[in-house]
Structure 1
């Protein structure tokens, strides 16, 4: 994954740190990634009414004809 720099205010950093501790993550970066994935997952659930995988799902390796 490419790195992006995110500027956080003191209040935002405090909130992300609380989330990091609650979820048992090792770094602020992991907490921000977790927040992003959670937002995408919840958005997809609202749109489709179901959960969606956020990782590559293996399937048949048969090419489309």
Structure 2
């Protein structure tokens, strides 16, 4: 799967560091991925009214 990299500003780094520590993740990229997946799951639940599994395509 292709990897994307992003530049984070100071406030985003602070947020990602807090998520990383709370969830026990290895780095900021994993924290960002966790946040995106969480947001997608919540949007899917709102849209369909039930949970959907997220799989790599």
TM-score of Structure 1 vs Structure 2, range by shorter chain: 0.7 to 0.9
Larger CA Rg, structure 1 vs 2: 1
Question: What TM-score results when the alignment is normalised by the length of structure 1?
Answer: 0.78
Partner of 2:40: 40
Runs of 4+ in 1 over 3 A off after TM superposition: none
The total of aligned residue pairs comes to 56
Partner of 1:20: 20
Q: Mind listing any 5+ residue stretches in structure 1 that lack a counterpart?
A: 57-65
User: Which structure has more helix as a fraction of its residues?
Assistant: 2
Per-residue CA deviation, residues 4-61 of structure 1 (Å, 9 max, x unaligned), is 12121101100011001001101111111111111110100010111101137xxxxx
Partner of 1:7: 7
Q: Mind listing any 5+ residue stretches in structure 2 that lack a counterpart?
A: none
Partner of 1:51: 51
RMSD of aligned Cα (Å): 1.3
